[in-house]
Copies of this chain bind each other. A is one copy, B any other.
Amino acid sequence: MHADEPHRRGEEDEDGGVYPAFSTLCERHGLRATPQRAAVYRELRGSADHPSAETIFRRVRRRLPNVSFDTVNRTLLTFASVGAAAVVEGFGDSRRFDPDTHNHHRLVCVKCRAIRDVRYPPYDDLPVPPELTRDFEVLGKRVVLQGLCPLCRQGPQRG
């Protein structure tokens, strides 16, 4: 990743912007609304760079200096299991999360592994191969582009 806190989403600068949604989420799934979970939720929602658990952990720690990595990681997995976060497919490095669980597409930088969301309507209604539906149950589809991000495209630095 190119920076410790890139691509921050602009929607909710003040503290409580996401709390109602968080509260609803917990109620709906029988989860306890702990400050740790709230902080993870907030940071995840505010991240557009598909952070790893480690990255979220670092960010959460600025507000909650005593959270443990485990709690952050477990919370992210919990969120994923109730559909409040998505696990992003990667290439063997650490697991990464996406606050956007709607179907969308991605571009992955083959060099620095940055992930960028791609919105492109022509990708949204792709047909499913008919011979596949005989044996498989297709639950989702997505276009994954590979390439070089602007920074990696420029020069050999910033590996």
Contact = CB atoms under 8 A, between A and B. Distances in A.
Contacts of A95: 91-92
Given A92-B87, A118-B129, A140 B136 contact: no
A70 B151 CA distance: 33
Nearest to A141: B145
Contacts of A146: 138-142
Number of copies: 2
A144 B141 contact: yes
Given A90-B92, A94-B92, A123-B126, A136 B147 contact: yes
Instruction: Please give me the 8 A-B residue pairs with the lowest Cβ-Cβ distance, nearest first.
Output: A92-B95, A138-B147, A137-B148, A120-B129, A140-B146, A89-B89, A135-B150, A139-B147
Given A109-B136, A135-B149, 11 more contacts: A87-B92, A89-B90, A89-B144, A90-B90, A136-B145, A136-B150, A137-B148, A139-B146, A139-B147, A140-B147, A141-B143
